[in-house]
Structure 1
Amino acid sequence: MLHSTRQGSGKPLLLIHGLGSSIGNWNPVIPALAAERDVIAIDLPGCGESAPLTGETTIATLTDAVEAFIRDEKLDDIDLVGSSMGARMTMEMARRGHAATTIALDPGGFWNDRQAAIFGASIKASVALVRRIQPALPFLTGNPWAARPCWLSSPPIPGNCRRILSCMSFAGSRHRPAWTRPSTR
């Protein structure tokens, strides 16, 4: 079963996040959507608080898991919004015959063989890096003084901090610190 949150009332709307992300990516828009819709956000398998799939993990198997969630929750006519990989999954569900409204925000994919190979290699290297630095992430992201070098330039969350946050998101971490600029006093 996929971990989910639900708020609001009205016609149901399912939010599907992208690669290595979680429900938390939808937090900025959920309140506005929930003013008019019954908003359901899910953590995909292996992300956030959802257990990983057993066996192969592909767009097809992730889509199968989302379709099982929709079926189990009796949400057959739910509208779908997906971001990045989640958008690709919503398009796959539409291809499979999902009849309700389907919105794909920046769907990933549709690459030629060379582009797919480059993407696969970069993801493999990124996963290896995240696994190596994961033990240090709580210290790096939870301690304002350890993160201080991130704040020495503008904008307030420069590239180094974005990479740390991306790593945490990619690693499926549930802990996302509230970023505040450390005092210079």
Structure 2
Amino acid sequence: MSATVSFKVASAQGEQSVTLSYTRRGSGEPLLLLHGIGHHRQAWEPVIPALAAERDVIAVDLPGCGDSPALPDGMAHDLPTMSTVLQALFGALEIERPHVAGNSLGGLLALDLARAQLVRSVTALSPAGFWNEAERRYAFTVLSTMRQIARRLPPPVVERLARPALGRTLLTSTIYARPGRRSPEAVVAETLALGPGPGVLRDAALRPDRAVHRRHRGHAGHRGVGQPGPAAHPPPGRARQGRDPPGPAGAAARLRPRPDERRPGAGGPGGSRRQPLTHPGGQRTFQGLPS
């Protein structure tokens, strides 16, 4: 069952009220699920039952996405602001240092929360931001085009297109590796959710070619995110990258916690196609994000 929570967030204009929509299921250590840009929390539905068996699972609609309203006027949908909002959400939901799994934009936000040592662990799937200029332009062009198409298609047309597998492929092939397997209802909801669009698509400050490398720069030179900084040791995590995206449903086994690895897992629009971030030991983890 969905719910909403409102809380205050500090900004340059003073405290502002922010409202977010979310679902919460299961019990155990808290696990926050963050979707990709222009998407919504329902992307995680295929894996939530498995996760809720061992975790207090919270899937949230990011500001301006799904059922969550955009941030108040004067608050940018940029990386520092979004991370501040999520930190305030922790307090509003009375959770302390949750595990976080993020896809695409959600993966970028999860990594930034880890940099600030606000989480227990992170799983970042196709995290946004680890791209060159050509890849960034491609990602934003695709996202902007998808948004324009979604805004121009009347809902009855979207519903008709979503009935056959070919139509679902046309609507969501840039989001899912196998869009024909998605239900018509899910494809309709995802397409309509993209239409209104949050401010993030037009907010250059969130473009990670500027944001990520500046915020995760090493103390001595320009270390990558996967390389250890001399004084920072945030929680363990995992970053998976590949075709954008395989979709959360394909990650259920990776997301399910194991006794020897209490880390959650997931994919989404705008993620990088580069190799996974790796710990120097060779495992698919990152550690030591510079502060």
TM-score range, shorter chain: 0.7 to 0.9
CA contact (8 A) 2:63 2:70 kept: yes
After TM superposition, the structure 1 stretch with the greater mean CA deviation from structure 2, 54-63 or 30-39, is 54-63
After TM superposition, the structure 1 stretch with the greater mean CA deviation from structure 2, 10-19 or 56-65, is 56-65
Are 2:170 and 1:160 aligned? yes
CA contact (8 A) 2:33 2:59 kept: yes
Equivalent residue, structure 2, for 1:75: 95
**Distance in 1 between residues matched to 2:166 and 2:100, nearest whole Å:** 33
Match of 1:53 among 68, 71, 80: 71
Equivalent residue, structure 2, for 1:39: 57
- Amino acid across the alignment from 2:65: C
Match of 2:144 among 119, 124, 132: 124
Match of 2:194 among 153, 160, 170: 170
Equivalent residue, structure 2, for 1:139: 156
Are 2:32 and 1:22 aligned? no
- Amino acid across the alignment from 2:126: D
Q: What is the root-mean-square deviation in Å for CA atoms of aligned residues?
A: 2.5
What's the CA shift for 1:29?
A: 0.7
- Amino acid across the alignment from 1:82: G
Cα deviation, 1:32-80, whole Å, max 9, x if unaligned, reads 1111111111110011111111332123322222121112222122111
After TM superposition, the structure 1 stretch with the greater mean CA deviation from structure 2, 98-107 or 22-31, is 98-107
CA contact (8 A) 1:48 1:172 kept: no
Q: How does 1:90-129 map to 2 (within 5 A)?
A: 90-129=110-149
Cα deviation, 1:84-134, whole Å, max 9, x if unaligned, reads 11011100111122241111112111222343334334433333333222x
Distance 1:121-1:75 versus aligned 2 partners, 3 A rule: same
Length-normalised TM-score, structure 2: 0.50
**Distance in 1 between residues matched to 2:170 and 2:146, nearest whole Å:** 15
Query: SS of 1:147's equivalent?
Result: helix
- Amino acid across the alignment from 1:103: T
- Amino acid across the alignment from 2:41: I
- Amino acid across the alignment from 1:125: T
**Distance in 2 between residues matched to 1:26 and 1:99, nearest whole Å:** 20
Cα deviation, 1:114-160, whole Å, max 9, x if unaligned, reads 43334334433333333222xx1x20233xxx338x63xxx576522
Task: Extract unaligned runs of 5+ from structure 1.
Answer: 174-185
**Distance in 2 between residues matched to 1:32 and 1:157, nearest whole Å:** 30
Equivalent residue, structure 1, for 2:207: none
**Distance in 1 between residues matched to 2:125 and 2:102, nearest whole Å:** 6
CA contact (8 A) 2:41 2:59 kept: yes
Query: SS of 2:102's equivalent?
Result: strand
Q: Identity percentage over the alignment?
A: 33
**Distance in 1 between residues matched to 2:97 and 2:147, nearest whole Å:** 36
CA contact (8 A) 1:130 1:167 kept: yes
What's the CA shift for 1:9?
A: 1.0
